[in-house]
Amino acid sequence: MTKIDFGGVVEDVVTREEFPLEKAREVLKNEVVAVLGYGVQGPAQSLNMRDNGIHVIVGQWKGDQAAWNKAVADGWVPGETLFDLEEAVDRGTIIQYLVSDAAQMMTWPRIKPHLKPGDALYFSHGFSIVYSNQTGVVPPDFVDVIMVAPKGSGTSVRANFLAGSGINASYAVEQDYTGRAEERTIALGIAIGAGYLFPTTFKNEVYSDLTGERGVLMGALAGIMEAQYNLLRKHGHTPSEAFNETVEELTQSLIRLVDKNGMDWMYANCSTTAQRGALDWRHQFRKAVEPVFDWLYESVVSGEQTRIVLEANSAPDYREKLGEELREMRESEMWRAGAAVRSLRPENWGK
* Lowest-pLDDT choice from 68-72, 101-105, 239-243: 101-105
CATH assignment of the domain containing 107: 3.40.50.720
The reported pLDDT for the residue numbered 47 is: 97
Indicate if the pLDDT at residue 218 is higher than 70: yes
Spatial contact of 48 and 157, defined as CB atoms under 8 Å apart: yes
The reported pLDDT for the residue numbered 351 is: 66
Q: How many domains does one find in the chain?
A: 2
**Is 328 or 348 the better-scoring residue by pLDDT?**
328
* Mean pLDDT on 266-286: 94
Task: Give residue 60's region: left, alpha or beta (phi > 0; psi -120 to 50).
Answer: beta
- Statement to judge: residues 220 and 301 lie in one domain: yes
Residue 239 lies in a domain: yes
Pick the catalytic residue from 125, 235, 237, 283: 125
The reported pLDDT for the residue numbered 219 is: 96
- pLDDT tier at 166, thresholds 50, 70, 90: confident
Spatial contact of 32 and 57, defined as CB atoms under 8 Å apart: yes
Q: SS3 for the chain, per residue?
A: CEEEEECCEEEEEEECCCCCHHHHHHHCCCCCEEEECCCCHHHHHHHHHHHCCCCEEEECCCCCHHHHHHHHHCCCCECCCEECHHHHHHHCCEEEECCCHHHHHHHHHHHHHHCCCCCEEEECCCHHHHCHHHHCCCCCCCCEEEEEEECCCHHHHHHHHHCCCCCCEEEEEEECCCCCHHHHHHHHHHHCCCCEEEECCHHHHHHHHHHHHHCCCCHHHHHHHHHHHHHHHHCCCCHHHHHHHHHHHHHHHHHHHHHHHCHHHHHHCCCHHHHHHHHHHHHHHHHHHHHHHHHHHHHHHCCHHHHHHHHHHCCCCHHHHHHHHHHHHHCCHHHHHHHHHHHCCHHHCCC
Residue 207 lies in a domain: no
Mean pLDDT of all residues belonging to the chain:
94
Residue 190 lies in a domain: yes
Spatial contact of 38 and 58, defined as CB atoms under 8 Å apart: yes
Indicate if the pLDDT at residue 286 is higher than 70: yes
- Statement to judge: residues 54 and 187 lie in one domain: yes
The reported pLDDT for the residue numbered 34 is: 98
Based on the residue annotation, tell me whether 55 is a catalytic residue of this protein.
Answer: no
- Statement to judge: residues 227 and 303 lie in one domain: yes
- Statement to judge: residues 194 and 227 lie in one domain: no
The reported pLDDT for the residue numbered 63 is: 85
- Domain residues for the domain of 300 are 213-348
The reported pLDDT for the residue numbered 40 is: 85
Indicate if the pLDDT at residue 73 is higher than 70: yes
How far apart are the C-alpha atoms of 67 and 65, rounded to whole Å? 6
Nearest Cα to Cα of residue 19 among 5, 1, 32 = 1
Residue 244 lies in a domain: yes
- Statement to judge: residues 48 and 178 lie in one domain: yes
The reported pLDDT for the residue numbered 332 is: 96
- Statement to judge: residues 293 and 179 lie in one domain: no
106-159 per-position pLDDT tens digit? 999 999 999 999 999 999 999 999 999 999 999 999 999 999 999 988 999 999
Residue 81 lies in a domain: yes
CATH assignment of the domain containing 275: 1.10.1040.10
How far apart are the C-alpha atoms of 44 and 238, rounded to whole Å? 40
The reported pLDDT for the residue numbered 345 is: 86
| Domain termination site, one of 200, 221, 246 | 200
Residue 205 lies in a domain: no
- Statement to judge: residues 248 and 310 lie in one domain: yes
- Statement to judge: residues 43 and 115 lie in one domain: yes
Q: Give the count of beta carbons closer than 10 Å to the beta carbon of residue 48.
A: 23
Q: Give the count of beta carbons closer than 10 Å to the beta carbon of residue 324.
A: 11
- Statement to judge: residues 182 and 270 lie in one domain: no
How far apart are the C-alpha atoms of 316 and 320, rounded to whole Å? 9
- pLDDT tier at 10, thresholds 50, 70, 90: confident
Q: How many CA atoms lie within 13 A of 239 on its CB side?
A: 10
- Statement to judge: residues 196 and 314 lie in one domain: no
Nearest Cα to Cα of residue 305 among 137, 179, 123, 126 = 126
* Mean pLDDT on 234-245: 96
How far apart are the C-alpha atoms of 39 and 57, rounded to whole Å? 15
Nearest Cα to Cα of residue 191 among 36, 22, 30, 52 = 52
- Statement to judge: residues 221 and 196 lie in one domain: no
Q: Give the count of beta carbons closer than 10 Å to the beta carbon of residue 139.
A: 22
| Domain termination site, one of 148, 179, 200 | 200
Indicate if the pLDDT at residue 12 is higher than 90: no
Residue 115 lies in a domain: yes
110: Cβ contacts below 8 Å, ≥ 6 apart: 85, 86
- Statement to judge: residues 33 and 148 lie in one domain: yes
321-337 per-position pLDDT tens digit? 999 999 999 999 999 99
